[in-house]
Protein backbone atom coordinates (compact mmCIF):
# COMPACT_ATOMS: atom_id res chain seq x y z
CA UNK A 1 0.00 0.00 0.00
CA UNK A 2 1.38 3.42 -1.04
CA UNK A 3 0.74 6.44 1.18
CA UNK A 4 1.22 10.10 0.20
CA UNK A 5 2.46 12.28 3.01
CA UNK A 6 3.90 15.72 3.79
CA UNK A 7 6.81 16.13 6.18
CA UNK A 8 6.41 19.28 8.31
CA UNK A 9 7.73 20.77 11.51
CA UNK A 10 6.99 23.40 14.12
CA UNK A 11 10.26 24.47 15.77
CA UNK A 12 11.81 21.10 14.96
CA UNK A 13 8.94 19.09 16.49
CA UNK A 14 8.39 17.10 13.31
CA UNK A 15 5.37 15.50 11.72
CA UNK A 16 4.22 13.19 8.98
CA UNK A 17 0.93 14.74 7.84
CA UNK A 18 -1.62 12.58 5.97
CA UNK A 19 -4.62 13.76 3.97
CA UNK A 20 -7.26 11.19 4.94
CA UNK A 21 -9.91 13.05 2.92
CA UNK A 22 -8.47 12.14 -0.50
CA UNK A 23 -6.84 8.87 0.54
CA UNK A 24 -8.69 6.63 2.88
CA UNK A 25 -6.09 5.76 5.49
CA UNK A 26 -5.74 5.95 9.26
CA UNK A 27 -2.65 4.15 10.59
CA UNK A 28 -2.80 1.18 12.91
CA UNK A 29 -0.41 1.57 15.89
CA UNK A 30 2.19 -0.56 14.04
CA UNK A 31 1.86 1.55 10.87
CA UNK A 32 2.20 4.74 12.92
CA UNK A 33 5.36 3.38 14.56
CA UNK A 34 6.73 2.46 11.11
CA UNK A 35 6.04 5.93 9.65
CA UNK A 36 7.66 7.58 12.70
CA UNK A 37 10.73 5.35 12.62
CA UNK A 38 13.79 7.47 11.73
CA UNK A 39 15.71 4.49 10.29
CA UNK A 40 13.14 2.33 8.50
CA UNK A 41 10.29 4.82 7.92
CA UNK A 42 9.97 8.57 7.30
CA UNK A 43 10.80 9.70 10.83
CA UNK A 44 8.77 12.07 13.03
CA UNK A 45 7.63 12.77 16.57
CA UNK A 46 3.92 12.62 15.66
CA UNK A 47 1.67 11.61 12.76
CA UNK A 48 -1.14 14.06 12.01
CA UNK A 49 -4.30 13.02 10.19
CA UNK A 50 -6.55 15.47 8.30
CA UNK A 51 -10.14 14.21 8.13
CA UNK A 52 -13.58 15.52 7.18
CA UNK A 53 -15.36 17.04 10.21
CA UNK A 54 -18.01 15.06 12.06
CA UNK A 55 -19.52 18.04 13.92
CA UNK A 56 -21.58 20.93 12.51
CA UNK A 57 -19.73 24.27 12.60
CA UNK A 58 -16.26 22.75 12.24
CA UNK A 59 -14.04 22.58 9.13
CA UNK A 60 -11.89 19.51 9.75
CA UNK A 61 -11.16 16.74 12.19
CA UNK A 62 -7.56 16.46 13.43
CA UNK A 63 -6.15 13.19 14.81
CA UNK A 64 -2.73 12.76 16.39
CA UNK A 65 -0.57 9.65 16.87
CA UNK A 66 2.62 9.69 18.90
CA UNK A 67 5.77 7.99 17.57
CA UNK A 68 4.98 5.03 19.87
CA UNK A 69 1.73 4.45 17.93
CA UNK A 70 -0.67 5.74 20.60
CA UNK A 71 -3.47 8.13 19.62
CA UNK A 72 -3.56 11.27 21.78
CA UNK A 73 -5.80 14.24 22.43
CA UNK A 74 -3.86 17.31 21.39
CA UNK A 75 -0.70 18.64 19.72
CA UNK A 76 0.07 22.37 19.61
CA UNK A 77 2.94 22.53 17.10
CA UNK A 78 0.92 20.12 14.98
CA UNK A 79 -2.11 22.44 15.06
CA UNK A 80 -0.03 25.19 13.41
CA UNK A 81 1.20 22.74 10.76
CA UNK A 82 -2.39 21.54 10.27
CA UNK A 83 -3.66 24.95 9.11
CA UNK A 84 -0.61 25.44 6.86
CA UNK A 85 -1.23 21.97 5.35
CA UNK A 86 -4.93 22.49 4.55
CA UNK A 87 -4.03 25.81 2.84
CA UNK A 88 -1.05 24.44 0.90
CA UNK A 89 -3.21 21.53 -0.32
CA UNK A 90 -6.15 23.72 -1.36
CA UNK A 91 -8.50 22.11 1.18
CA UNK A 92 -9.68 25.54 2.39
CA UNK A 93 -8.99 29.22 1.77
CA UNK A 94 -10.25 30.37 5.19
CA UNK A 95 -7.42 31.93 7.22
CA UNK A 96 -9.12 30.83 10.47
CA UNK A 97 -10.56 27.33 10.80
CA UNK A 98 -12.37 25.40 13.50
CA UNK A 99 -10.90 21.97 14.06
CA UNK A 100 -12.27 19.03 16.05
CA UNK A 101 -9.79 17.14 18.18
CA UNK A 102 -10.19 14.35 20.71
CA UNK A 103 -10.20 17.00 23.44
CA UNK A 104 -12.49 19.62 21.89
CA UNK A 105 -12.43 22.33 19.24
CA UNK A 106 -9.37 24.48 18.56
CA UNK A 107 -9.11 27.45 16.18
CA UNK A 108 -5.84 27.94 14.28
CA UNK A 109 -5.43 31.17 12.26
CA UNK A 110 -2.87 31.85 9.52
CA UNK A 111 -1.41 35.32 10.15
CA UNK A 112 -0.38 37.65 7.29
CA UNK A 113 3.22 37.17 8.51
CA UNK A 114 2.99 33.43 7.74
CA UNK A 115 3.05 32.55 11.44
CA UNK A 116 0.07 30.77 12.97
CA UNK A 117 -1.90 31.64 16.10
CA UNK A 118 -3.93 28.87 17.70
CA UNK A 119 -6.72 29.31 20.20
CA UNK A 120 -5.94 26.16 22.19
CA UNK A 121 -8.97 26.45 24.49
CA UNK A 122 -9.00 26.76 28.27
CA UNK A 123 -6.43 24.96 30.40
CA UNK A 124 -7.74 22.68 33.12
CA UNK A 125 -6.14 22.08 36.50
CA UNK A 126 -8.26 19.61 38.49
CA UNK A 127 -6.31 16.44 39.31
CA UNK A 128 -9.17 14.34 37.90
CA UNK A 129 -8.93 16.16 34.54
CA UNK A 130 -5.24 15.33 34.02
CA UNK A 131 -5.70 12.56 35.33
CA UNK A 132 -3.35 12.76 38.35
CA UNK A 133 -3.76 10.66 41.48
CA UNK A 134 -4.06 13.36 44.17
CA UNK A 135 -6.60 14.53 46.78
CA UNK A 136 -5.58 18.11 46.09
CA UNK A 137 -5.93 20.54 43.18
CA UNK A 138 -3.14 22.78 44.57
CA UNK A 139 -1.01 24.74 42.08
CA UNK A 140 2.17 23.09 43.36
CA UNK A 141 2.21 19.42 44.35
CA UNK A 142 5.07 17.20 45.47
CA UNK A 143 5.90 14.21 43.28
CA UNK A 144 8.35 11.62 44.56
CA UNK A 145 10.42 10.07 41.78
CA UNK A 146 13.00 7.56 43.00
CA UNK A 147 15.10 9.42 45.54
CA UNK A 148 13.99 12.91 44.41
CA UNK A 149 10.91 15.02 45.18
CA UNK A 150 9.80 17.52 42.51
CA UNK A 151 7.34 20.40 42.96
CA UNK A 152 5.15 19.97 39.93
CA UNK A 153 2.16 21.86 38.54
CA UNK A 154 -0.29 19.73 36.61
CA UNK A 155 -2.08 21.25 33.61
CA UNK A 156 -4.33 19.75 30.95
CA UNK A 157 -4.19 21.43 27.55
CA UNK A 158 -6.44 18.62 26.37
CA UNK A 159 -3.39 16.42 26.96
CA UNK A 160 -1.65 15.98 30.33
CA UNK A 161 1.39 17.98 31.50
CA UNK A 162 3.50 18.03 34.68
CA UNK A 163 5.67 21.16 34.79
CA UNK A 164 8.52 21.90 37.19
CA UNK A 165 10.81 24.90 37.59
CA UNK A 166 14.56 24.29 37.25
CA UNK A 167 17.55 26.60 37.67
CA UNK A 168 19.06 25.80 34.27
CA UNK A 169 17.33 23.84 31.50
CA UNK A 170 20.71 23.17 29.92
CA UNK A 171 21.72 20.91 32.81
CA UNK A 172 18.26 19.77 33.96
CA UNK A 173 18.05 15.94 34.27
CA UNK A 174 15.43 15.63 31.49
CA UNK A 175 16.89 12.36 30.18
CA UNK A 176 16.97 10.71 33.60
CA UNK A 177 13.68 11.88 35.13
CA UNK A 178 11.56 12.62 32.02
CA UNK A 179 10.73 8.93 31.34
CA UNK A 180 10.19 8.24 35.06
CA UNK A 181 7.71 11.13 35.36
CA UNK A 182 6.01 10.12 32.08
CA UNK A 183 5.35 6.62 33.44
CA UNK A 184 4.80 7.54 37.10
CA UNK A 185 2.01 5.48 38.70
CA UNK A 186 0.20 8.68 39.78
CA UNK A 187 -0.41 9.52 36.09
CA UNK A 188 -2.63 6.65 34.90
CA UNK A 189 -2.60 7.90 31.29
CA UNK A 190 1.08 8.89 31.50
CA UNK A 191 2.14 12.53 31.18
CA UNK A 192 4.33 15.02 29.28
CA UNK A 193 7.10 16.22 31.61
CA UNK A 194 8.14 19.88 31.29
CA UNK A 195 11.27 21.49 32.75
CA UNK A 196 11.16 25.31 32.69
CA UNK A 197 13.72 27.93 33.60
CA UNK A 198 12.38 31.39 34.42
CA UNK A 199 14.39 34.04 32.53
CA UNK A 200 12.24 37.07 33.45
CA UNK A 201 8.51 37.73 33.99
CA UNK A 202 7.85 37.40 30.25
CA UNK A 203 10.37 34.77 29.20
CA UNK A 204 11.20 31.14 29.95
CA UNK A 205 13.43 28.41 28.54
CA UNK A 206 11.76 25.03 28.24
CA UNK A 207 12.53 21.39 27.57
CA UNK A 208 9.82 18.73 27.42
CA UNK A 209 10.05 14.96 27.61
CA UNK A 210 6.95 14.04 25.63
CA UNK A 211 4.71 11.11 26.38
CA UNK A 212 5.09 8.57 23.58
CA UNK A 213 7.87 10.44 21.77
CA UNK A 214 10.73 11.20 24.21
CA UNK A 215 12.38 14.61 24.43
CA UNK A 216 11.45 16.71 21.38
CA UNK A 217 12.99 19.96 20.13
CA UNK A 218 9.77 21.78 21.10
CA UNK A 219 6.33 20.96 22.46
CA UNK A 220 3.51 23.42 21.76
CA UNK A 221 1.07 22.22 24.40
CA UNK A 222 4.07 21.92 26.76
CA UNK A 223 4.83 25.61 26.12
CA UNK A 224 1.19 26.53 26.86
CA UNK A 225 1.19 24.42 30.04
CA UNK A 226 4.50 25.89 31.27
CA UNK A 227 3.43 29.51 30.66
CA UNK A 228 0.10 28.92 32.40
CA UNK A 229 1.78 27.11 35.33
CA UNK A 230 4.28 29.98 35.69
CA UNK A 231 1.47 32.58 35.67
CA UNK A 232 -0.50 30.59 38.28
CA UNK A 233 2.61 30.31 40.47
CA UNK A 234 3.00 34.13 40.32
CA UNK A 235 6.33 33.90 38.47
CA UNK A 236 5.25 35.06 34.99
CA UNK A 237 2.98 37.58 33.28
CA UNK A 238 1.30 37.14 29.91
CA UNK A 239 2.49 37.15 27.15
CA UNK A 240 5.35 34.72 27.71
CA UNK A 241 8.14 34.07 25.19
CA UNK A 242 9.08 30.40 25.35
CA UNK A 243 12.54 29.47 24.08
CA UNK A 244 12.80 25.81 23.15
CA UNK A 245 15.74 23.95 21.64
CA UNK A 246 14.03 24.36 18.22
CA UNK A 247 13.10 28.06 18.45
CA UNK A 248 10.62 30.45 20.04
CA UNK A 249 6.86 30.52 20.66
CA UNK A 250 4.69 33.23 22.20
CA UNK A 251 2.00 32.18 24.65
CA UNK A 252 -0.75 34.49 25.91
CA UNK A 253 -3.23 33.67 28.68
CA UNK A 254 -5.52 36.27 30.30
CA UNK A 255 -6.34 34.05 33.30
CA UNK A 256 -9.02 31.66 34.57
CA UNK A 257 -11.88 31.03 32.16
CA UNK A 258 -9.83 32.32 29.21
CA UNK A 259 -8.28 30.35 26.33
CA UNK A 260 -4.55 30.00 25.77
CA UNK A 261 -3.24 31.57 22.54
CA UNK A 262 -0.08 30.15 21.00
CA UNK A 263 1.80 31.87 18.14
CA UNK A 264 4.70 30.43 16.17
CA UNK A 265 5.89 29.08 12.82
CA UNK A 266 4.77 26.08 10.74
CA UNK A 267 7.09 24.77 8.05
CA UNK A 268 6.60 22.33 5.14
CA UNK A 269 9.77 20.28 4.54
CA UNK A 270 8.88 17.98 1.63
CA UNK A 271 6.16 15.85 0.04
CA UNK A 272 6.64 12.12 -0.43
CA UNK A 273 5.19 8.68 -1.00
CA UNK A 274 6.02 5.57 0.98
CA UNK A 275 5.18 1.87 0.65
CA UNK A 276 3.76 0.45 3.86
CA UNK A 277 5.05 -3.08 4.50
CA UNK A 278 2.07 -5.44 4.43
CA UNK A 279 3.42 -7.65 7.23
CA UNK A 280 3.17 -4.98 9.96
CA UNK A 281 1.31 -6.43 12.91
CA UNK A 282 -1.68 -4.30 14.17
Ligand X SMILES: N[C@@H](CCC[C@H](N)C(=O)O)C(=O)O
CA dihedral 38→41→45→46, nearest 10 degrees, is: 180
Judge contact between 145 and 137, C-beta under 8 A. Answer: no
Site for ligand X (CB under 6 A): how many residues?
A: 19
Nearest in space to 131 (alpha carbons), one of 179, 81, 90, 186: 186
Helix (H), strand (E), coil (C) string for 48-74? EEEECCCCCCCCEEEEEEECCCCEECC
- Is 210 among the annotated ligand-binding positions? yes
C-beta of residue 72 within 8 angstroms of C-beta of residue 40:
no
Is 221 part of any known ligand binding site?
A: yes
The answer to the question of whether 272 is labelled as a binding residue is no
x/- track of binding to ligand X for residues 47-66 (CB under 6 A): -------------------x
- Burial of 281 (C-beta count, 10 Å sphere; 0-12/13-18/19+): exposed
Is the Cβ of residue 41 or residue 246 nearer to ligand X in the bound state?
246
Q: Give the integer Cα–Cα distance in Å for 110 and 117.
A: 7
Window 13-52: residues binding ligand X (CB under 6 A): 13, 45-46
Catalytic residue IDs: 75, 219
* 211 labelled binding-site residue: yes
Smallest distance, Å, CB 98 to ligand X?
A: 19
185 is in an annotated binding site: no
Q: Of 116-175, which residues contact ligand X (CB under 6 A)? A: 159
- Per-residue binding string, ligand X, 236-275, x by CB under 6 A, is ----------------------------------------
Residue 250, CB-side half-sphere exposure with 13 Å CA sphere: 9
Contact between 69 and ligand X per CB under 6 A: no
**Is 66 assigned a ligand-binding role in the annotation?**
yes
Q: How far is the CB of 35 from ligand X (least distance, A)?
A: 15
Bond preceding residue 61 cis, omega within 30 of 0:
no
DSSP string, 158-187: SSEEEEEE-S-TTTS-HHHHHHHHHT-TT-
DSSP, collapsed to helix, strand or coil, labels residue 77 as helix
* Binding track over 206-235 against ligand X, x by CB under 6 A: ----xxxx--x--xxx--------------
Interface stretch with ligand X, choices 75-83, 105-113, 131-139, 272-280 (CB under 6 A): 75-83
- Phi first, then psi, for residue 252 (nearest 5°) are -120, 135
Residue 77 is assigned to a ligand binding site: yes
CA-CA-CA-CA torsion sign (277, 278, 279, 282): positive
We find the least distance from the C-beta atom of residue 64 to ligand X, in angstroms, to be 6
Q: What's the min distance (Å) between Cβ of 79 and ligand X? A: 8
**Which parts of this chain interact with ligand X (CB under 6 A)?**
13, 45-46, 66, 72, 75-78, 159, 192, 210-213, 216, 219-221
Known binding-site positions for substrate? 13, 46, 66, 76-77, 159, 192, 210-211, 220-221
Known binding-site positions? 13, 46, 66, 76-77, 159, 192, 210-211, 220-221
Amino acid sequence: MKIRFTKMHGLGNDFVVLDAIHQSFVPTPAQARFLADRHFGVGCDQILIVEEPSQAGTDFRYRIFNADGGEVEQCGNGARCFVRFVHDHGLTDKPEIRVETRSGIISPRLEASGEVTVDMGEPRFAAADIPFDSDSDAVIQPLQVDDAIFDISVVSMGNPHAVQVVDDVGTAPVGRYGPLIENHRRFPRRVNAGFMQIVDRHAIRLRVHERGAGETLACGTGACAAAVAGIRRGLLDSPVRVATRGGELTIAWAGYGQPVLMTGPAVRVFEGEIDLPSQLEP
